[in-house]
Chains A and B, each alone.
Chain A
Amino acid sequence: MSTEALRIVWIYPDLLSTYGDRGNLLILARRAALRGIPVETYSVRSDQPMPSTADIYLIGGGEDGPQALAAQRLINDGGLHRAVNQGASVLAICAGYQLFGHSFFAKGAKCPGLGLLDLHSDRGETRAVGELRGDIDPRLGLPPLSGFENHGGRTHLGPGANPLARVTAGIGNDGQTEGAWAGKILGTYSHGPALARNPAIADLLLRWAIGADSLALVDDTWTERLRAERLAAAGA
């Protein structure tokens, strides 16, 4: 950890916060606080410099225009690249996930991405909207992914990125795999407050950030009820 408190940055909420993306920041902060880990959170607007010394970075979903603008500003700024190279953890959602790759499509044009995940995205023939469920890469040791997806993109992984999950309901990247991970970067199409249904992913980000193998258990009674309900609703 770079300072005494765990530092969490929410990237460009003015551009990429289409639907409840703030939830991930709130959930991470709460689950850290429950373990007695002091937390500082920062919402960094697109007209502000991106700090490179935080521990966890969150980036959310958005429409085509803001997505392309966010990618351009992050490339020009360079702070996020430095942070990742220094070992920061990242959760990238939906449009934010796409722009971590080499390229993505926005407003009919191919746009350069950050190149921090070995993948590229293009347009699918149909929009993927609905419940999403998948079995997460066993190397991460997490229970199944549950989410709600709403995107028109399809994402193709290169050899440098691992699928986050095998899809058991919904579309994800391409109907087969969903999301990606490499190093301490996680990307997913599970949109909005993805961590609400996936507290184990929140805890993984916290463990990566503080370098711990495990964290104290917290009362997840309601979260487990929600997960059971949504995993059943997704079928498959």
Chain B
Amino acid sequence: MPLRAKVATSVSKTAAALSRAAGRGDGSVIGGWIGLKIDPELLSHLATGRAIALVSGTNGKTTTTRLAAAALGVLGPVATNSFGANMPTGHTSALAKAGQTPFAVLEVDEHYLPRVIDETRPRVVALLNLSRDQLDRAKEVAMMAQLWRTALAGHPDVNVVANADDPMVVWAAYGSQKVTWFSAGQRWQDDSWVCPESGDPIERANGDWWCTGCPLRRPIPQWRVEDEGVIDPRGDWHLVKLQLPGTVNLGNAATALAVAAEFGVRPIEALPRLSTVTSIAGRYAQVDRDGRNIRLLLAKNPASWLEAFDMAEQAPTLLSINARDPDGFDTSWLYDVDFAPLYGRPVLITGERAYDLAVRLEVNGIPFQHVSTFDEALRTVPPGRLEVIANYTAFQDIRAELDRVN
């Protein structure tokens, strides 16, 4: 590593430690930010000599990254940005902090994927899904797919692991010649009714999909979820025991196994490690307080709300919505979510944009009660499980109430 990069790495680690010591943050961004100021090519230098997997997509990337890192741990130390800091500053911090590791698994924000591929020259890129997310500033889904497709076409050596169930992801992955397909399902389909190749309608039936006007159709996946397990490319079924809820996380586990297999890790080796993963930066965390067992579910966009409803038990449910900068200022997406699965559960609402949610639930015919604070919610529900579903900053607010539970 050049001297400038060494200095930058050292300063970066110090800044991260200072940030943590000062209680200003978890240090997952500031260190990288300073390091990149000193050496703009620091991420490249830090990536050199490591076998790297990148994980990107609208939803599930933090969890899948955590699972894939656990699986790769079979082979040796793995650097990873486990706090969800998924832009180049976060990657730089994570690699600097980890020191020399043979492997790294990095979660990458969708917009930054081309740049991070360029700078880290990964062995594997996993593409999970693409759906609408903060459209008041994000690129529309088709543009994102084009961005990925172009980036992959420029790196023919990269092994792509991609979701066969999402037409936008499949089209993007075809930028590469080296694709392994997995089937993780696609609960949200409203962003892929129009073929990204030809503009014709896409039809779906029984888990299959195809374009009505061009040859684009669902590839046959080598990895897929069946019952409570995953079928590997040889056709062997493996029981998957997770501490994470929902079929969505089974799909994430299948993805992690497919990524690990690209490094030579067999499912039978990886599975025990997947079952050790509990919560990730507060997601799925369970906290006992005042006789209530609180479980935290993060839902950032329409697709992930549908997944959260699937994971949550039939128990009192608190929904919390903010619309600060990281959430997007626009709450229109509330009408892209069908809240009907909540019918029959006691529903509480809170957050800075609770009134938007109130009007939405009324239109959906879901009875609810408004509470001003998290404490009031706790007092309102009987002892037992309280499911909490919140969008990004609302989730962080509640996590802070629970002593920043991880």
A residues at B contact (CB < 8 Å): 14-15, 17-23, 26-27, 30, 45, 47, 63, 66, 69, 129-130, 148, 150, 191-193, 196-197, 222-223, 225-226, 229
Contact = CB atoms under 8 A, between A and B. Distances in A.
B355 A192 contact: no
B330 A150 contact: yes
A14 B335 contact: no
Contacts of B363: 23, 26-27, 30, 196
Contacts of A196: 335, 356, 359-360, 363
A20 B355 contact: no
B276 interface: no
B112 interface: no
Nearest to B356: A226
Interface string B171-204: 0000000000000000000100110000101000
A69 B142 CA distance: 16
Given A22-B335, A129-B137, 11 more contacts: A19-B330, A20-B334, A23-B360, A148-B332, A150-B136, A196-B335, A196-B356, A197-B359, A222-B362, A225-B358, A226-B356
B201 A19 contact: no
Contacts of B333: 19-20
Q: What is the predominant secondary structure among interface residues of chain A facing chain B?
A: mixed
B330 A14 contact: no
Interface residues on B, range: 20 to 34
A192 B359 contact: no
A66 B355 CA distance: 32
B335 A148 contact: no
B329 interface: yes
B292 interface: no
B359 A223 contact: yes
B391 to A, nearest CB: 14
A232 to B, nearest CB: 12
A119 to B, nearest CB: 24
B13 to A, nearest CB: 38
Contacts of A226: 355-356, 358-359
Contacts of A197: 359
A47 B199 CA distance: 12
Contacts of A129: 136-137, 329
A70 to B, nearest CB: 12
B65 to A, nearest CB: 28
B186 to A, nearest CB: 17
B310 interface: no
27 contacts: A14-B194, A15-B194, A18-B135, A18-B140, A19-B132, A19-B332, A20-B332, A23-B334, A23-B363, A26-B335, A27-B363, A69-B199, A129-B136, A129-B137, A130-B329, A148-B332, A191-B332, A192-B330, A193-B335, A196-B359, A196-B363, A197-B359, A222-B362, A223-B362, A225-B355, A225-B358, A229-B355
Interface string B96-138: 0000000000000000000000000000000000001001110
A225 B353 CA distance: 11
Nearest to B361: A222
Given A18-B135, A19-B330, A192-B330, A222 B359 contact: yes
